Structure 1
Amino acid sequence: MLRGSGNAYGFFAILLHWLIALLILALLTLGYIMTRPDIDPALQFSLFQWHKSFGMLVLALALVRAVQWCMSVKVAPVATLSALERLLSSITHKLLLVLGVLVPLAGWVIASVSPLGIPTFMFDLFVVPHLPLAQSEGAETLWSEVHATLAYTLLCLIVLHALAALYHHLWRGDDVLMRMLGRRRSPPREKRS
């Protein structure tokens, strides 16, 4: 099923979800490695370029996902969720969508305001133009902190999101996780005591 319905996510939403998730986790890992103080400068430059390329890819995919989310039929929450769980789920999903756009956008701002003026070579295919912003060390420092803070916030939300999905799958036995794996809904199991 390419398009979602009231009870299931469509193939496109599932594909975007997992692709963006994997790319973000790879970017967080790469971001940590490339900022180590003992890294070889030539390797660091290459890692920064890969980080920026994949970051731009995430930005594009996250924008597509946000538009798709706004235009698609909303999947109803699993019936066994409490009102509080529904609220927290809704807030978390919206924050994940917003941060999926803001984190790479902040990274693009860093590249644009850096006085070094190093271009972003998108997978060595073309150069991504800088945003029309004033360059300064102060702006680069500020946006680097914004980017890092947003990235770590996104990481915390991803961990919370994954733990909640595993909790619902392993402990509650409902279809929260299975729906994002494209599986058919099954009757909920009884809660464990």
Structure 2
Amino acid sequence: MAMTTMITNNTNRYGWAAIALHWLIALIFIGQFALGFIMVRIESQRTAFELIQLHKSFGFLLLGLVILRIAWRLGNAAPALPRSVGALERRTAPLAHFALYAFQLALPLSGWALVSVSMLEIPSLPFNLFVMPNLPLAMSDASENIWAAAHWYLAYAGIALVVLHALAALRHHFWLRDSVLVRMITPSSDQEME
């Protein structure tokens, strides 16, 4: 198989670019949820501050990767679903993927809005490389509370969506025994799908 074929999607499988972006985003998204959960419960203010800066750094990275993933997806058609996938699931799968993309964008954007309106005015330094400018939003305690709540609700709704997505993939692999999960693990030659 040619190298370009392995990088881009084909009719049966995702290419390496989509696979790498999928799993990297999944790892960061889940890691961000865990880090966010820990950083607000830790007693040491210094450690909490460092974890918050790390959380912001990975949030900006996540935002960039999700934008790249969406651009890649728009330029590379997704492989066709296996014949075993029913009509209802064929209609709902694109909606579920759209929801995942929406949450993966909304969550870091709400975090960026939160630090932008914070009265503490602590600069965001992604991985200590540069100062990320704030969004042009008015600072106030009320705005901070609104964005903090939005970020919190989006985080829990997003992680619930990720869990449902993972359960659906496992259902396809272990119960339906089709190629839905396998095609997001490794690219392959154009094998016939089940």
- Find the aligned partners of 2:120 and 2:46 in 1 and give their Cα distance: 16
Report the equivalent of 1:106: 110
Match of 1:52 among 51, 56, 60: 56
Q: Give, in angstroms, the shift of residue 187 of structure 1.
A: 5.5
- Find the aligned partners of 2:45 and 2:134 in 1 and give their Cα distance: 23
Higher mean displacement: 71-80 or 101-110: 71-80
Report the equivalent of 2:81: 77
Segments ≥4 residues shifted beyond 6 Å: none
For structure 1, the residue ranges without an aligned partner over 5 or more in a row are 189-193
Report the equivalent of 1:31: 36
Q: Which has the higher contact order (CA 8 A, sep 6+)?
A: 2
Q: Deviations over 1:21-42 (max 9, x none)?
A: 0001100000000111x52111
Report the equivalent of 1:149: 153
Q: Secondary structure of 2:164's match?
A: helix
Letter in 2 for 1:92: A
Q: Give, in angstroms, the shift of residue 74 of structure 1.
A: 2.6
Superposed, 1:1-193 pairs within 5 Å as: 1-36=6-41, 38-184=42-188, 185=191, 188=194
- Find the aligned partners of 2:166 and 2:8 in 1 and give their Cα distance: 24
- Find the aligned partners of 1:22 and 1:183 in 2 and give their Cα distance: 19
Letter in 2 for 1:59: L
For structure 2, the residue ranges without an aligned partner over 5 or more in a row are 1-5
- Find the aligned partners of 1:46 and 1:132 in 2 and give their Cα distance: 25
TM-score normalised per structure 2: 0.92
Q: Is the 8 A contact 2:12 2:193 kept in 1?
A: no
Letter in 2 for 1:175: S
Report the equivalent of 2:3: none
Q: Is the 8 A contact 1:78 1:176 kept in 2?
A: yes
Letter in 2 for 1:135: M
Letter in 1 for 2:9: G
RMSD between superposed Cα atoms in Å = 1.3
